[in-house]
Amino acid sequence: MPTILTLYEFSEEQAEQIRDIAPDYELISATTKEVTPEQIREADILVGWNRKTEEAALESDRLKWVQAWSAGVDYFPMDRFEEKKVLLTNAGGVHAIPISEHIFAVLLAMTRNLHGNIRSQVRGKWDKGGTYGEASGQTMVIVGTGHIGRATAKLAKAFGMKTIGVRHSGRPEEYIDEMYKTDGLEQAFAQGDVIVNILPLTDETHHFFDKESFSRMKKGALFINVGRGPSVDTEALIEALDSGILSGAALDVFEQEPLPEDHPLWKREDLILTPHVAGNTDHYEERAADIFIDNLKAFVRGETLPRNLVDYSRKY
């Protein structure tokens, strides 16, 4: 009997849906600590992934599809999956609301100098210093305009901001006033009061934000990174802050995680640092399960998976 092995706990209602959609499959649930290599090797569909599962999954001759519980898939063995004809889908879209709200949380905090006020509070100081600006009327450049970029642009329009998008294809997107291909970065960056990085990590995007990229930005811009840590050259970022190219930055992801306690970024007062939590939400499990269930309906019918099928040639 073919099996669906999930490393995440579905609700009873979700489990019933899965059994109704795929009555010929056995649904097996196991925690990441308890799952055995034998269970992984015998799975036809695997929901979830970690380093422990990789060796057994790649040994399997049965595995046909892996549903990732994350949006980023740069840590998956995609070349081997492609070779073995294993499908991979991610949880893209789950994070659109929490990450777009996180972007605006840090944007408004830095625009209204809340980060400075909070530091003064901790020190017990009544300090009215600092700059107090407004989001309204500013231009936001969103690099990576998928689910999260679109949700971010929608919020930006509600705050009266102009929105510029950058994507590989240059295809227009709702809530984006102007869209540029990556070869139009210089023109896009020159207009940006706020630059938001939502890029996935691929060979092409590693250190996408380097010294040259920062040099193209409008002086005094705010940089927000909720994409992938290695897409930003940390040393180049520090140089851009020191030189005044950037007025500040909000970073949720880093080249090295956890960020070492002695890292110079911790001591900077022109930064807001968060420990890779922008996508955290109490709605995560429900939304990720919905993606899997929609894909499962197509899978059992032998159809192309409709949601978040990873293109191995693009690595996302």
Residues 10 and 86 in one domain: yes
- Tens of pLDDT, residues 137-166: 999 999 999 999 999 999 999 999 999 999
Distance in angstroms (rounded) separating the CA atoms of residues 143 and 94: 19
Whether residues 102 and 235 share a domain: the answer is yes
Question: Quick check: 52 pLDDT over 80?
Answer: no
pLDDT per residue as tens digits for the range 206-223: 999 999 999 999 999 999
Which residues constitute the domain of residue 120? 96-273
Same domain for 139 and 187, yes or no, is: yes
Q: Amino acid identity, residue 270?
A: D
Whether residue 23 lies inside any domain: the answer is yes
110 and 249 in a single domain? The answer is yes
- 170 belongs to a structural domain: yes
Catalytic residues: 228, 257, 276
If one counts the domains in the chain, the total is 2
Q: With respect to residue 308, please indicate whether it lies within any of the assigned structural domains.
A: no
Percent of the chain with pLDDT over 90: 94
What does the alpha-carbon distance between residue 65 and residue 44 come to, in Å, rounded to a whole number?
A: 7
Q: Does residue 217 share a domain with residue 107?
A: yes
In tens, the pLDDT along 261-296 reads: 999 999 999 999 999 999 999 999 999 999 999 999
8 A C-beta contact, residue 245 and residue 270: no
Mean pLDDT of 15-34: 96
Residue 131: is its pLDDT beyond 90? yes
- Residue 72 has a pLDDT of 86
In 10 A of CB 33, how many CB atoms?
8
Residues 173 and 258 in one domain: yes
What is the helix (H) or strand (E) element at residue 109, kind and residue range? helix 96-111
Residue 306 lies in a domain: no
* pLDDT number for residue 168: 87
Q: Provide the CATH number for the domain around residue 201.
A: 3.40.50.720
- Does residue 233 register a pLDDT over 80? yes
The per-residue pLDDT of the chain, averaged, comes to 96
The yes-or-no verdict on residue 113 having pLDDT over 90 is yes
- 230 and 110 within one domain: yes
